[in-house]
């Protein structure tokens, strides 16, 4: 559980990085979005290499279009398969995520991320692998992030 908390610290550190580098945020916004997309894509690829369940993937895809908080799916992922690669990628995702949250002056986003991360972490009590579910939700969010950049 400590690794989960440390992986979430990336978004808080990113928020403080944004606070101290405010003048670079506007020109660097596109790069932060690209980093988020790359890390999210890597996470889903690593999930598919480890575990794949089509039904859970479809459920995750559908729920991902409704519930667009990445950290919910990160919480599910890290409680189902705790390895340092996934936790490190969630930490790396949090750096641009927190920086962009500061740029948008949206502290509520970080608060909701903590809440949904904790809710997703409750999946530890289920005796079933929900990694494909988390991958489906992350694919939905990945599609929204790609659409945001190119639209």
Q: Band of the pLDDT at 21, cuts 50, 70, 90?
A: confident
In a domain, 104, yes or no: yes
Lowest mean pLDDT: which of 54-68, 83-97, 117-131, 132-146? 117-131
Q: pLDDT at position 62, please?
A: 95
Query: What pLDDT digit, counting tens, does each position of 88-120 carry?
Result: 999 999 999 998 888 777 788 888 988 999 998
Please give the torsion angle defined by the CA atoms of residues 78, 43, 133 and 119, in that order, rounded to the nearest 10 degrees. 40
Instruction: Transcribe the chain into DSSP letters.
Output: -HHHHHHHHHHHHHHHHHHH-HHHHHHHHHHHHHHHHHHHHHHHHHHHHH---HHHHHHHHHHHHH---HHHHHHHHHHHS--HHHHHHHHHHHHHHHHHHHHTT-HHHHHHHHHHHHHHHGGGGSSS--HHHHHHHHHHHHHHHHHHHH-
- The yes-or-no verdict on residue 82 having pLDDT over 70 is no
In a domain, 83, yes or no: yes
In a domain, 134, yes or no: yes
In a domain, 19, yes or no: no
pTM confidence score:
0.90
Average pLDDT, whole number, for the chain? 88
Enter the tokens of residue 61: 């895809």
- The yes-or-no verdict on residue 66 having pLDDT over 70 is yes
- The yes-or-no verdict on residue 127 having pLDDT over 90 is no
Other CB atoms within a 10 A radius of the CB of residue 97 amount to 23
In a domain, 13, yes or no: no
In a domain, 20, yes or no: no
In a domain, 61, yes or no: yes
In a domain, 74, yes or no: yes
Q: pLDDT at position 135, please?
A: 92
Instruction: Give me the number of domains the chain comprises.
Output: 1
Domain hosting residue 50, numbered range? 2-6+27-150
């Amino acid at each position: 559980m400590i690794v989960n908390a440390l992986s979430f610290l990336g978004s808080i550190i990113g928020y403080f990085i944004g606070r101290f580098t405010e003048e670079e945020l506007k020109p660097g916004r596109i790069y932060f979005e690209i980093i988020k997309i790359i890390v999210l894509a890597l996470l889903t690829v690593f999930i598919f290499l480890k575990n794949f369940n089509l039904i859970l993937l479809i459920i995750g895809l559908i729920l991902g279009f409704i519930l667009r908080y990445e950290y919910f799916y990160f919480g599910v992922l890290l409680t189902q398969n705790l390895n340092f690669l996934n936790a490190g990628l969630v930490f790396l995702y949090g750096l641009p995520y927190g920086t962009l949250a500061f740029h948008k002056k949206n502290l509520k986003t970080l608060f909701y991320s903590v809440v949904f991360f904790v809710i997703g972490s409750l999946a530890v009590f289920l005796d079933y692998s929900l990694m494909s579910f988390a991958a489906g939700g992350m694919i939905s969010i990945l599609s929204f992030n790609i659409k945001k950049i190119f639209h």
